[in-house]
Structure 1
Amino acid sequence: MDYSNLVKKAFEAQKYAYTPYSSFNVGAALLTKSGKIYTGCNIECASYGATNCAERTAIFKAVSEGHKDIAVIAVVGAEDEYTFPCGICRQVIVEFGKDIKLIIAKSETEYKVFDISELLPHSFSSEDLK
Structure 2
Amino acid sequence: METIIRKLQQIKSRALAEYSNFHVGAILVTQDGEEISGFNIESSSYSLTICAERVALFKALSEGHRKFKAIYIMSDDDAPCPPCGACRQVLFDYAPDIEVIMVGASGDVRRAPLRDLLPYAFNKDRLIR
Q: Same fold (TM over 0.5)?
A: yes
What residue is the counterpart of 1:114 in the other structure?
A: 112
The one-character-per-residue Cα deviations of 1:33-89 (angstroms, maximum 9, x if unpaired) are 011100000000001111010000000110010002111000111331211111000
TM-score (norm 1): 0.90
The one-character-per-residue Cα deviations of 1:6-52 (angstroms, maximum 9, x if unpaired) are 34322221011001110000010010001110000000000111101
Aligned residues: 128
What residue is the counterpart of 2:80 in the other structure?
A: 82
Separation (CA, whole Å) in 1 of partners of 2:9 and 2:106: 8
Q: 1:93 to 1:7 in 2, by over 3 A?
A: farther
What residue is the counterpart of 2:7 in the other structure?
A: 9
TM-score (norm 2): 0.91
Q: Percent identity?
A: 37
Flag as ranges the 4+ runs of structure 1 deviating above 4 A.
Answer: none
Asked if 1:92 is matched to 2:71, the reply is: no
CA contact 1:4–1:108 (8 Å) conserved in 2: no
CA contact 1:71–1:101 (8 Å) conserved in 2: yes
What residue is the counterpart of 2:51 in the other structure?
A: 53
Offset at residue 128 of structure 1 (A): 3.0
Over the aligned positions, Cα root-mean-square deviation in angstroms equals 1.7
Unaligned runs of 5+ in 2: none
Which amino acid letter does the alignment assign opposite residue 68 of structure 2?
I
Unaligned runs of 5+ in 1: none
Which amino acid letter does the alignment assign opposite residue 126 of structure 1?
K
